[in-house]
Chain A
Protein backbone atom coordinates (compact mmCIF):
# COMPACT_ATOMS: atom_id res chain seq x y z
CA UNK A 1 0.00 0.00 0.00
CA UNK A 2 1.40 3.35 -0.98
CA UNK A 3 0.74 6.91 0.00
CA UNK A 4 -2.11 6.79 -2.48
CA UNK A 5 -4.14 4.41 -0.32
CA UNK A 6 -3.21 5.99 3.01
CA UNK A 7 -4.57 9.29 1.82
CA UNK A 8 -7.88 7.60 1.06
CA UNK A 9 -7.92 5.85 4.43
CA UNK A 10 -7.37 9.14 6.23
CA UNK A 11 -9.84 11.05 4.06
CA UNK A 12 -12.68 8.55 4.37
CA UNK A 13 -12.29 8.09 8.12
CA UNK A 14 -11.94 11.79 8.96
CA UNK A 15 -14.81 12.67 6.62
CA UNK A 16 -17.02 10.05 8.19
CA UNK A 17 -16.01 11.01 11.71
CA UNK A 18 -16.84 14.67 11.03
CA UNK A 19 -20.34 13.79 9.91
CA UNK A 20 -20.79 11.40 12.82
CA UNK A 21 -19.78 14.03 15.35
CA UNK A 22 -22.15 16.52 13.77
CA UNK A 23 -25.11 14.12 13.77
CA UNK A 24 -24.60 12.85 17.28
CA UNK A 25 -23.99 16.29 18.72
CA UNK A 26 -27.39 17.21 17.31
CA UNK A 27 -29.01 14.25 19.01
CA UNK A 28 -27.29 14.98 22.32
CA UNK A 29 -28.23 18.63 22.16
CA UNK A 30 -31.86 17.78 21.49
CA UNK A 31 -32.08 15.20 24.25
CA UNK A 32 -29.99 17.03 26.85
CA UNK A 33 -31.81 20.37 26.72
CA UNK A 34 -34.93 18.61 27.94
CA UNK A 35 -33.30 17.88 31.25
CA UNK A 36 -30.49 20.42 31.56
CA UNK A 37 -30.21 24.15 31.00
CA UNK A 38 -29.36 25.04 27.39
CA UNK A 39 -26.41 27.19 28.50
CA UNK A 40 -24.91 24.30 30.43
CA UNK A 41 -25.38 21.89 27.51
CA UNK A 42 -23.76 24.29 25.11
CA UNK A 43 -20.77 24.74 27.38
CA UNK A 44 -19.95 21.16 26.38
CA UNK A 45 -21.32 20.91 22.85
CA UNK A 46 -20.18 24.18 21.29
CA UNK A 47 -16.49 23.47 21.53
CA UNK A 48 -16.97 19.95 20.16
CA UNK A 49 -18.88 21.50 17.26
CA UNK A 50 -16.00 23.83 16.45
CA UNK A 51 -13.55 20.91 16.45
CA UNK A 52 -15.31 19.34 13.45
CA UNK A 53 -14.05 21.97 11.02
CA UNK A 54 -10.33 21.29 11.35
CA UNK A 55 -10.90 17.51 11.25
CA UNK A 56 -12.86 17.76 8.00
CA UNK A 57 -10.37 20.15 6.43
CA UNK A 58 -7.55 17.80 7.38
CA UNK A 59 -9.47 15.00 5.66
CA UNK A 60 -9.85 17.01 2.47
CA UNK A 61 -6.17 17.90 2.50
CA UNK A 62 -5.31 14.23 2.91
CA UNK A 63 -7.53 13.38 -0.05
CA UNK A 64 -5.33 15.51 -2.31
CA UNK A 65 -2.56 13.01 -1.63
CA UNK A 66 -4.16 10.43 -3.86
CA UNK A 67 -4.34 12.70 -6.87
CA UNK A 68 -1.69 12.51 -9.54
CA UNK A 69 -2.44 16.11 -10.50
CA UNK A 70 -3.72 17.84 -7.36
CA UNK A 71 -3.56 21.27 -9.02
CA UNK A 72 -6.49 20.10 -11.14
CA UNK A 73 -8.53 19.09 -8.09
CA UNK A 74 -11.05 21.89 -8.65
CA UNK A 75 -12.17 20.11 -11.84
CA UNK A 76 -13.40 17.17 -9.83
CA UNK A 77 -16.98 18.37 -9.51
CA UNK A 78 -17.52 18.78 -13.25
CA UNK A 79 -19.22 15.41 -13.70
CA UNK A 80 -21.90 15.67 -11.02
CA UNK A 81 -24.39 14.46 -13.62
CA UNK A 82 -22.77 10.99 -13.82
CA UNK A 83 -19.95 10.47 -11.38
CA UNK A 84 -20.41 9.49 -7.74
CA UNK A 85 -16.92 10.78 -7.09
CA UNK A 86 -18.01 14.26 -8.19
CA UNK A 87 -21.11 13.97 -6.06
CA UNK A 88 -19.08 12.85 -3.05
CA UNK A 89 -16.87 15.91 -3.30
CA UNK A 90 -19.81 18.21 -3.92
CA UNK A 91 -21.76 16.93 -0.91
CA UNK A 92 -18.61 16.98 1.21
CA UNK A 93 -18.02 20.62 0.32
CA UNK A 94 -21.66 21.54 0.92
CA UNK A 95 -21.60 19.79 4.28
CA UNK A 96 -18.45 21.69 5.18
CA UNK A 97 -19.93 25.05 4.22
CA UNK A 98 -23.33 24.54 5.85
CA UNK A 99 -21.70 23.03 8.93
CA UNK A 100 -19.37 26.01 9.20
CA UNK A 101 -22.28 28.45 8.86
CA UNK A 102 -24.13 26.62 11.60
CA UNK A 103 -21.08 26.45 13.86
CA UNK A 104 -20.56 30.16 13.48
CA UNK A 105 -24.19 30.99 14.19
CA UNK A 106 -24.16 28.68 17.17
CA UNK A 107 -20.86 29.98 18.54
CA UNK A 108 -21.89 33.62 18.27
CA UNK A 109 -25.55 32.82 19.01
CA UNK A 110 -26.61 34.52 15.79
CA UNK A 111 -30.28 34.29 14.88
CA UNK A 112 -33.13 32.65 16.74
CA UNK A 113 -32.84 29.12 18.07
CA UNK A 114 -35.35 27.76 15.53
CA UNK A 115 -33.40 29.16 12.60
CA UNK A 116 -30.18 27.58 13.87
CA UNK A 117 -32.01 24.29 14.13
CA UNK A 118 -33.05 24.49 10.48
CA UNK A 119 -29.49 25.25 9.38
CA UNK A 120 -28.26 22.32 11.45
CA UNK A 121 -30.80 19.99 9.87
CA UNK A 122 -29.76 21.06 6.38
CA UNK A 123 -26.11 20.46 7.25
CA UNK A 124 -26.96 17.06 8.74
CA UNK A 125 -28.81 16.01 5.59
CA UNK A 126 -25.86 17.08 3.44
CA UNK A 127 -23.52 15.17 5.75
CA UNK A 128 -25.56 12.01 5.28
CA UNK A 129 -25.57 12.58 1.53
CA UNK A 130 -21.78 12.91 1.74
CA UNK A 131 -21.44 9.50 3.40
CA UNK A 132 -23.93 7.80 1.11
CA UNK A 133 -22.21 9.13 -2.01
CA UNK A 134 -18.85 8.14 -0.53
CA UNK A 135 -20.16 4.57 -0.28
CA UNK A 136 -21.59 4.66 -3.79
CA UNK A 137 -18.18 5.66 -5.13
CA UNK A 138 -17.02 2.18 -4.16
CA UNK A 139 -20.07 0.21 -5.22
CA UNK A 140 -18.65 -0.71 -8.61
CA UNK A 141 -19.54 -3.93 -10.46
CA UNK A 142 -15.88 -4.88 -10.86
CA UNK A 143 -14.96 -4.56 -7.17
CA UNK A 144 -16.65 -7.48 -5.46
CA UNK A 145 -15.79 -6.73 -1.85
CA UNK A 146 -16.93 -3.11 -2.18
CA UNK A 147 -20.05 -3.72 -4.21
CA UNK A 148 -22.11 -4.88 -1.23
CA UNK A 149 -24.72 -3.24 1.01
CA UNK A 150 -22.09 -3.71 3.72
CA UNK A 151 -20.18 -0.72 2.30
CA UNK A 152 -22.77 1.95 3.13
CA UNK A 153 -23.56 0.19 6.41
CA UNK A 154 -19.94 0.06 7.56
CA UNK A 155 -19.32 3.64 6.42
CA UNK A 156 -22.28 4.80 8.46
CA UNK A 157 -21.29 2.73 11.48
CA UNK A 158 -17.72 4.05 11.27
CA UNK A 159 -19.12 7.54 11.11
CA UNK A 160 -21.35 7.17 14.15
CA UNK A 161 -18.95 5.04 16.17
CA UNK A 162 -15.88 7.24 15.79
CA UNK A 163 -18.17 10.27 16.14
CA UNK A 164 -19.66 9.01 19.38
CA UNK A 165 -16.34 8.39 21.06
CA UNK A 166 -14.73 11.54 19.67
CA UNK A 167 -17.54 13.50 21.29
CA UNK A 168 -16.83 11.71 24.55
CA UNK A 169 -13.23 12.92 24.37
CA UNK A 170 -14.29 16.43 23.39
CA UNK A 171 -16.76 16.62 26.28
CA UNK A 172 -14.17 15.49 28.82
CA UNK A 173 -11.75 18.09 27.46
CA UNK A 174 -14.41 20.82 27.42
CA UNK A 175 -15.34 19.99 30.98
CA UNK A 176 -11.74 20.15 32.15
CA UNK A 177 -11.37 23.50 30.42
CA UNK A 178 -14.55 24.93 31.95
CA UNK A 179 -13.54 23.75 35.39
CA UNK A 180 -10.14 25.36 35.09
CA UNK A 181 -11.71 28.59 33.95
CA UNK A 182 -14.30 28.64 36.74
CA UNK A 183 -11.75 27.48 39.29
CA UNK A 184 -14.30 25.08 40.75
CA UNK A 185 -16.42 22.06 39.99
CA UNK A 186 -19.89 22.64 38.71
CA UNK A 187 -22.20 19.92 39.94
CA UNK A 188 -24.66 20.61 37.16
CA UNK A 189 -22.01 20.40 34.47
CA UNK A 190 -20.51 17.25 35.97
CA UNK A 191 -23.93 15.61 36.05
CA UNK A 192 -24.45 16.57 32.44
CA UNK A 193 -21.04 15.22 31.45
CA UNK A 194 -21.64 11.89 33.13
CA UNK A 195 -25.16 11.58 31.75
CA UNK A 196 -23.87 12.20 28.25
CA UNK A 197 -20.96 9.80 28.60
CA UNK A 198 -23.31 7.04 29.66
CA UNK A 199 -25.53 7.68 26.66
CA UNK A 200 -22.51 7.78 24.37
CA UNK A 201 -21.05 4.49 25.52
CA UNK A 202 -24.41 2.75 25.21
CA UNK A 203 -24.58 4.03 21.62
CA UNK A 204 -21.02 2.82 21.02
CA UNK A 205 -21.85 -0.69 22.24
CA UNK A 206 -24.89 -0.89 19.95
CA UNK A 207 -22.82 0.35 17.00
CA UNK A 208 -20.03 -2.12 17.61
CA UNK A 209 -22.65 -4.84 17.81
CA UNK A 210 -23.92 -3.79 14.38
CA UNK A 211 -20.38 -3.90 13.08
CA UNK A 212 -19.67 -7.33 14.51
CA UNK A 213 -22.73 -8.62 12.65
CA UNK A 214 -22.05 -6.83 9.36
CA UNK A 215 -18.42 -7.75 8.89
CA UNK A 216 -18.71 -11.56 9.19
CA UNK A 217 -21.82 -11.44 7.00
CA UNK A 218 -19.87 -9.54 4.38
CA UNK A 219 -17.12 -12.17 4.42
CA UNK A 220 -19.71 -14.94 4.14
CA UNK A 221 -21.40 -13.29 1.16
CA UNK A 222 -18.06 -12.78 -0.54
CA UNK A 223 -16.83 -16.32 -0.06
CA UNK A 224 -20.09 -17.58 -1.55
CA UNK A 225 -19.71 -15.14 -4.47
CA UNK A 226 -19.99 -16.14 -8.11
CA UNK A 227 -16.70 -14.72 -9.30
CA UNK A 228 -13.22 -15.95 -8.47
CA UNK A 229 -12.35 -12.37 -7.50
CA UNK A 230 -15.05 -12.33 -4.81
CA UNK A 231 -13.87 -15.61 -3.33
CA UNK A 232 -10.26 -14.40 -3.46
CA UNK A 233 -11.21 -11.18 -1.67
CA UNK A 234 -12.78 -13.14 1.18
CA UNK A 235 -9.77 -15.43 1.37
CA UNK A 236 -7.37 -12.49 1.52
CA UNK A 237 -9.29 -11.03 4.45
CA UNK A 238 -9.36 -14.20 6.46
CA UNK A 239 -5.97 -15.70 5.59
CA UNK A 240 -3.43 -13.25 4.07
CA UNK A 241 -4.63 -10.48 6.35
CA UNK A 242 -6.16 -12.79 8.95
CA UNK A 243 -4.26 -11.41 11.92
CA UNK A 244 -5.02 -7.81 11.05
CA UNK A 245 -8.63 -8.74 10.43
CA UNK A 246 -8.94 -10.38 13.85
CA UNK A 247 -7.14 -7.47 15.51
CA UNK A 248 -9.48 -5.01 13.86
CA UNK A 249 -12.53 -6.79 15.27
CA UNK A 250 -10.93 -7.21 18.68
CA UNK A 251 -9.98 -3.53 18.96
CA UNK A 252 -13.49 -2.40 18.12
CA UNK A 253 -14.89 -4.76 20.71
CA UNK A 254 -12.37 -3.93 23.45
CA UNK A 255 -12.57 -0.20 22.77
CA UNK A 256 -16.31 0.19 22.60
CA UNK A 257 -17.65 -2.63 24.74
CA UNK A 258 -15.05 -3.26 27.45
CA UNK A 259 -13.77 0.29 27.88
CA UNK A 260 -17.35 1.47 27.44
CA UNK A 261 -18.44 -0.71 30.34
CA UNK A 262 -15.75 0.80 32.56
CA UNK A 263 -16.72 4.31 31.51
CA UNK A 264 -20.32 3.53 32.34
CA UNK A 265 -19.46 2.16 35.75
CA UNK A 266 -17.03 4.89 36.62
CA UNK A 267 -19.57 7.61 35.84
CA UNK A 268 -21.99 5.99 38.26
CA UNK A 269 -19.44 5.70 41.07
CA UNK A 270 -17.16 8.32 42.49
CA UNK A 271 -14.33 7.89 40.00
CA UNK A 272 -12.26 11.01 39.39
CA UNK A 273 -12.53 12.92 36.16
CA UNK A 274 -9.00 11.87 35.34
CA UNK A 275 -9.96 8.21 35.40
CA UNK A 276 -13.12 8.77 33.39
CA UNK A 277 -11.23 10.92 30.91
CA UNK A 278 -8.51 8.29 30.52
CA UNK A 279 -11.06 5.56 29.92
CA UNK A 280 -12.94 7.61 27.33
CA UNK A 281 -9.68 8.49 25.59
CA UNK A 282 -8.67 4.84 25.62
CA UNK A 283 -11.98 3.75 24.12
CA UNK A 284 -11.68 6.35 21.35
CA UNK A 285 -8.05 5.46 20.62
CA UNK A 286 -8.70 1.72 20.37
CA UNK A 287 -11.77 2.13 18.20
CA UNK A 288 -9.99 4.59 15.93
CA UNK A 289 -7.04 2.24 15.41
CA UNK A 290 -9.52 -0.58 14.74
CA UNK A 291 -11.28 1.55 12.14
CA UNK A 292 -8.03 2.50 10.44
CA UNK A 293 -7.09 -1.18 10.21
CA UNK A 294 -10.56 -1.96 8.91
CA UNK A 295 -10.28 0.68 6.22
CA UNK A 296 -6.79 -0.49 5.32
CA UNK A 297 -8.21 -3.97 4.77
CA UNK A 298 -11.08 -2.51 2.75
CA UNK A 299 -8.54 -1.31 0.18
CA UNK A 300 -5.90 -3.99 0.55
CA UNK A 301 -8.04 -7.13 0.46
CA UNK A 302 -10.23 -6.24 -2.50
CA UNK A 303 -9.48 -8.28 -5.62
CA UNK A 304 -10.90 -6.64 -8.75
CA UNK A 305 -12.67 -8.54 -11.51
CA UNK A 306 -11.04 -8.09 -14.90
CA UNK A 307 -7.66 -8.17 -16.56
Chain B
Protein backbone atom coordinates (compact mmCIF):
# COMPACT_ATOMS: atom_id res chain seq x y z
CA UNK B 1 0.00 0.00 0.00
CA UNK B 2 1.34 3.39 -0.96
CA UNK B 3 1.14 5.93 1.80
CA UNK B 4 0.13 9.50 1.21
CA UNK B 5 2.59 12.05 -0.10
CA UNK B 6 4.06 14.07 2.76
CA UNK B 7 4.12 17.83 2.24
CA UNK B 8 4.95 21.16 3.87
CA UNK B 9 2.63 24.07 4.47
CA UNK B 10 3.88 27.63 4.88
CA UNK B 11 1.66 30.56 5.81
CA UNK B 12 3.48 33.36 4.01
CA UNK B 13 1.40 36.02 5.76
CA UNK B 14 2.44 34.73 9.17
CA UNK B 15 6.13 34.25 8.33
CA UNK B 16 8.24 37.06 9.76
CA UNK B 17 11.39 36.04 7.88
CA UNK B 18 13.24 35.32 11.14
CA UNK B 19 15.01 32.25 9.69
CA UNK B 20 14.55 30.14 12.81
CA UNK B 21 13.57 27.21 10.55
CA UNK B 22 16.78 27.54 8.57
CA UNK B 23 18.87 27.51 11.73
CA UNK B 24 16.89 24.69 13.34
CA UNK B 25 17.56 22.63 10.21
CA UNK B 26 21.27 23.35 10.30
CA UNK B 27 21.38 22.47 13.97
CA UNK B 28 19.41 19.26 13.74
CA UNK B 29 21.40 18.02 10.76
CA UNK B 30 24.73 19.46 11.89
CA UNK B 31 25.30 21.09 8.49
CA UNK B 32 28.60 22.72 7.60
CA UNK B 33 28.95 26.36 6.70
CA UNK B 34 27.67 26.81 3.13
CA UNK B 35 25.28 23.87 3.19
CA UNK B 36 21.67 24.87 3.76
CA UNK B 37 18.88 22.38 3.37
CA UNK B 38 16.33 25.07 4.20
CA UNK B 39 16.73 28.63 3.03
CA UNK B 40 14.56 31.70 3.56
CA UNK B 41 14.32 33.68 0.36
CA UNK B 42 13.24 37.32 0.60
CA UNK B 43 11.30 38.63 -2.36
CA UNK B 44 11.24 42.43 -2.60
CA UNK B 45 9.89 44.94 -5.09
CA UNK B 46 7.81 48.03 -5.65
CA UNK B 47 8.69 51.69 -5.66
CA UNK B 48 7.61 55.15 -4.60
CA UNK B 49 5.45 56.88 -7.17
CA UNK B 50 4.35 60.48 -7.20
CA UNK B 51 0.65 61.22 -7.29
CA UNK B 52 -0.04 64.95 -7.15
CA UNK B 53 1.75 66.28 -4.08
CA UNK B 54 2.02 62.93 -2.42
CA UNK B 55 4.47 60.05 -2.76
CA UNK B 56 2.77 56.71 -2.69
CA UNK B 57 4.60 53.55 -1.76
CA UNK B 58 4.12 50.29 -3.57
CA UNK B 59 7.12 48.78 -1.83
CA UNK B 60 6.60 45.24 -0.63
CA UNK B 61 8.59 42.37 0.76
CA UNK B 62 7.82 38.88 1.93
CA UNK B 63 9.78 35.76 2.76
CA UNK B 64 9.45 32.27 1.33
CA UNK B 65 11.07 29.47 3.27
CA UNK B 66 12.09 26.70 0.92
CA UNK B 67 13.72 23.32 1.27
CA UNK B 68 13.41 20.20 -0.78
CA UNK B 69 9.70 20.14 -1.57
CA UNK B 70 9.69 16.37 -2.05
CA UNK B 71 8.19 16.85 -5.50
CA UNK B 72 5.65 14.37 -6.74
CA UNK B 73 7.55 14.17 -10.05
CA UNK B 74 11.03 14.50 -8.45
CA UNK B 75 13.06 15.44 -11.54
CA UNK B 76 16.19 15.02 -9.42
CA UNK B 77 15.50 11.30 -9.08
CA UNK B 78 14.89 10.97 -12.80
CA UNK B 79 18.17 12.74 -13.54
CA UNK B 80 20.42 10.93 -11.09
CA UNK B 81 22.49 8.43 -13.08
CA UNK B 82 23.16 6.14 -10.14
CA UNK B 83 19.65 6.14 -8.68
CA UNK B 84 21.01 7.63 -5.49
CA UNK B 85 17.86 9.74 -5.09
CA UNK B 86 14.80 7.73 -4.20
CA UNK B 87 11.24 8.55 -3.28
CA UNK B 88 9.94 6.68 -0.28
CA UNK B 89 6.39 5.36 -0.06
CA UNK B 90 5.39 8.46 1.87
CA UNK B 91 6.78 10.66 -0.92
CA UNK B 92 9.84 11.79 1.01
CA UNK B 93 12.83 12.05 -1.35
CA UNK B 94 15.98 10.67 0.22
CA UNK B 95 19.57 10.47 -0.96
CA UNK B 96 21.64 7.36 -0.52
CA UNK B 97 25.04 8.98 -0.25
CA UNK B 98 26.85 5.68 -0.67
CA UNK B 99 25.55 5.54 -4.25
CA UNK B 100 26.12 9.21 -5.10
CA UNK B 101 28.94 9.78 -7.58
CA UNK B 102 28.94 13.54 -7.03
CA UNK B 103 28.19 14.43 -10.63
CA UNK B 104 25.85 17.23 -9.50
CA UNK B 105 23.47 16.50 -12.32
CA UNK B 106 20.52 16.52 -9.91
CA UNK B 107 21.35 20.15 -9.05
CA UNK B 108 20.54 21.17 -12.62
CA UNK B 109 17.16 19.48 -12.41
CA UNK B 110 15.93 20.83 -9.08
CA UNK B 111 13.83 24.00 -9.24
CA UNK B 112 14.35 24.81 -5.56
CA UNK B 113 18.11 24.67 -5.05
CA UNK B 114 17.44 21.88 -2.59
CA UNK B 115 20.46 19.83 -3.53
CA UNK B 116 23.50 21.02 -1.66
CA UNK B 117 26.89 19.66 -2.60
CA UNK B 118 29.34 18.80 0.17
CA UNK B 119 32.80 19.53 -1.21
CA UNK B 120 34.49 17.64 1.64
CA UNK B 121 32.78 14.32 1.09
CA UNK B 122 32.22 14.76 -2.67
CA UNK B 123 28.57 13.84 -2.16
CA UNK B 124 25.29 15.59 -2.67
CA UNK B 125 23.20 16.27 0.42
CA UNK B 126 19.59 17.30 0.91
CA UNK B 127 16.63 17.72 3.26
CA UNK B 128 15.22 14.36 4.36
CA UNK B 129 12.03 15.80 5.87
CA UNK B 130 13.56 14.78 9.22
CA UNK B 131 12.61 11.24 8.28
CA UNK B 132 13.92 9.96 11.60
CA UNK B 133 11.63 12.34 13.49
CA UNK B 134 8.68 11.43 11.27
CA UNK B 135 9.23 7.77 11.98
CA UNK B 136 9.22 8.58 15.71
CA UNK B 137 6.03 10.61 15.30
CA UNK B 138 7.80 13.92 15.97
CA UNK B 139 7.52 17.16 13.97
CA UNK B 140 10.31 18.11 11.53
CA UNK B 141 12.81 20.49 13.16
CA UNK B 142 11.85 23.46 10.96
CA UNK B 143 8.13 23.12 11.65
CA UNK B 144 8.70 22.77 15.37
CA UNK B 145 11.02 25.78 15.55
CA UNK B 146 8.81 28.40 13.92
CA UNK B 147 7.94 31.08 16.51
CA UNK B 148 5.11 32.36 14.30
CA UNK B 149 3.65 28.88 13.86
CA UNK B 150 3.72 29.62 10.14
CA UNK B 151 4.68 26.07 9.15
CA UNK B 152 2.81 22.83 9.12
CA UNK B 153 3.26 19.46 7.48
CA UNK B 154 1.25 16.36 6.71
CA UNK B 155 -0.22 14.43 3.83
CA UNK B 156 -0.55 16.71 0.81
CA UNK B 157 -4.27 16.01 0.33
CA UNK B 158 -5.04 16.93 3.91
CA UNK B 159 -3.01 20.13 3.70
CA UNK B 160 -4.85 21.08 0.53
CA UNK B 161 -8.21 20.49 2.17
CA UNK B 162 -7.24 22.64 5.09
CA UNK B 163 -5.27 25.42 3.40
CA UNK B 164 -6.05 25.45 -0.35
CA UNK B 165 -3.70 24.54 -3.16
CA UNK B 166 -1.46 27.55 -3.78
CA UNK B 167 1.99 26.37 -4.86
CA UNK B 168 2.92 29.13 -7.27
CA UNK B 169 4.65 32.02 -5.52
CA UNK B 170 7.43 34.30 -6.77
CA UNK B 171 10.35 33.80 -6.90
CA UNK B 172 9.73 30.04 -7.12
CA UNK B 173 9.47 28.62 -10.63
CA UNK B 174 6.36 27.17 -12.23
CA UNK B 175 5.17 24.26 -10.04
CA UNK B 176 4.11 22.26 -13.09
CA UNK B 177 7.82 21.52 -13.69
CA UNK B 178 8.10 19.15 -10.74
CA UNK B 179 4.77 19.18 -8.84
CA UNK B 180 6.24 20.14 -5.46
CA UNK B 181 4.54 18.76 -2.34
CA UNK B 182 3.84 22.15 -0.80
CA UNK B 183 0.94 24.43 0.01
CA UNK B 184 1.38 28.14 0.64
CA UNK B 185 -0.95 30.46 2.46
CA UNK B 186 -0.79 33.72 0.46
CA UNK B 187 0.84 36.89 1.75
CA UNK B 188 -1.14 40.08 0.97
CA UNK B 189 1.69 41.05 -1.36
CA UNK B 190 2.74 37.66 -2.71
CA UNK B 191 3.00 37.42 -6.47
CA UNK B 192 2.55 34.56 -8.87
CA UNK B 193 5.64 32.61 -9.84
CA UNK B 194 6.22 34.25 -13.20
CA UNK B 195 6.22 37.74 -11.67
CA UNK B 196 9.22 39.84 -12.61
CA UNK B 197 8.09 42.81 -10.56
CA UNK B 198 10.45 42.06 -7.72
CA UNK B 199 13.79 40.42 -7.08
CA UNK B 200 15.41 38.22 -4.47
CA UNK B 201 16.56 40.61 -1.77
CA UNK B 202 19.03 38.38 0.04
CA UNK B 203 20.84 36.62 -2.80
CA UNK B 204 24.10 36.46 -0.87
CA UNK B 205 22.34 34.54 1.90
CA UNK B 206 20.68 31.87 -0.16
Distance of A83 Cα from B79 Cα, bound (Å): 5
Query: Do A307 and B82 touch across chains, with their CB atoms under 8 A apart?
Result: no
Query: Do B171 and A67 touch across chains, with their CB atoms under 8 A apart?
Result: no
For B119, the chain A residues whose CB sits under 8 A away are 68
For B100, the chain A residues whose CB sits under 8 A away are 68-69, 72
Query: Do A67 and B102 touch across chains, with their CB atoms under 8 A apart?
Result: yes
Query: Do A307 and B108 touch across chains, with their CB atoms under 8 A apart?
Result: no
Query: Do A79 and B109 touch across chains, with their CB atoms under 8 A apart?
Result: no
Considering only CB atoms, which chain A residue lies closest to B110 in the complex? A306
Distance of A137 Cα from B104 Cα, bound (Å): 12
Distance of A304 Cα from B104 Cα, bound (Å): 14
Given contacts A67-B103, A69-B122, A72-B99, contact A304 B82 (CB under 8 A): no
Q: Closest CB of chain A to B24's CB: distance in Å?
A: 20
A206 within 8 A of B: no
Distance of A55 Cα from B71 Cα, bound (Å): 40
For A29, the chain B residues whose CB sits under 8 A away are none
Distance of A221 Cα from B75 Cα, bound (Å): 25
Number of interface residues of B (CB under 8 A): 40
Query: Do A142 and B108 touch across chains, with their CB atoms under 8 A apart?
Result: yes
B18 within 8 A of A: no
Distance of A75 Cα from B200 Cα, bound (Å): 37
Considering only CB atoms, which chain A residue lies closest to B103 in the complex? A67
For A43, the chain B residues whose CB sits under 8 A away are none
> Residue A307 contacts which of B103, B117, B196, B206 (CB distance < 8 angstroms)?
B206
A44-77: contact bitstring with B at CB < 8 Å (1 yes, 0 no)? 0000000000000000000000111110110111
Query: Do A304 and B108 touch across chains, with their CB atoms under 8 A apart?
Result: yes
Query: Do A67 and B101 touch across chains, with their CB atoms under 8 A apart?
Result: yes
Those of A115-146 within 8 Å (CB) of chain B: 137, 140-143
Query: Do B112 and A83 touch across chains, with their CB atoms under 8 A apart?
Result: no
Q: Closest CB of chain B to A72's CB: distance in Å?
A: 4
Query: Do A140 and B108 touch across chains, with their CB atoms under 8 A apart?
Result: yes
Q: Closest CB of chain A to B37's CB: distance in Å?
A: 14
Distance of A142 Cα from B109 Cα, bound (Å): 7
B133 within 8 A of A: no
> Residue B101 contacts which of A76, A82, A143, A304 (CB distance < 8 angstroms)?
A76
Query: Do A77 and B81 touch across chains, with their CB atoms under 8 A apart?
Result: yes
Given contacts A79-B83, A86-B81, contact A306 B173 (CB under 8 A): yes
Distance of A143 Cα from B75 Cα, bound (Å): 13
For A72, the chain B residues whose CB sits under 8 A away are 82, 99-102
For A305, the chain B residues whose CB sits under 8 A away are 111, 173
Query: Do B109 and A68 touch across chains, with their CB atoms under 8 A apart?
Result: no
Query: Do B101 and A307 touch across chains, with their CB atoms under 8 A apart?
Result: no
Q: Closest CB of chain B to A231's CB: distance in Å?
A: 9
Distance of A66 Cα from B117 Cα, bound (Å): 12
B25 within 8 A of A: no
A38 within 8 A of B: no
Distance of A79 Cα from B100 Cα, bound (Å): 12
B41 within 8 A of A: yes
A215 within 8 A of B: no
For B78, the chain A residues whose CB sits under 8 A away are 82-83
For A306, the chain B residues whose CB sits under 8 A away are 110-113, 172-173
For A307, the chain B residues whose CB sits under 8 A away are 39, 41, 66, 111-113, 171-173, 200, 206
Distance of A82 Cα from B102 Cα, bound (Å): 18
Q: Closest CB of chain B to A183's CB: distance in Å?
A: 52
Distance of A258 Cα from B21 Cα, bound (Å): 61
Q: Interface centre among A68, A77, A84, by most B CB within 10 Å?
A: A68
Query: Do B103 and A85 touch across chains, with their CB atoms under 8 A apart?
Result: yes
A228 within 8 A of B: yes
Those of B84-118 within 8 Å (CB) of chain A: 84, 99-105, 108-113, 117-118
For B177, the chain A residues whose CB sits under 8 A away are 141-142
Query: Do B83 and A69 touch across chains, with their CB atoms under 8 A apart?
Result: no
Distance of A76 Cα from B196 Cα, bound (Å): 38
A97 within 8 A of B: no
B118-130: contact bitstring with A at CB < 8 Å (1 yes, 0 no)? 1101111000000
Considering only CB atoms, which chain B residue lies closest to A89 in the complex? B81
Which A residues lie at the B interface, using CB under 8 A?
A: 4, 66-70, 72-73, 75-79, 82-86, 89, 137, 140-143, 226-228, 304-307
Q: List 7 A-B contacts (CB under 8 A).
A: A68-B124, A69-B102, A70-B101, A85-B79, A142-B177, A305-B111, A307-B113
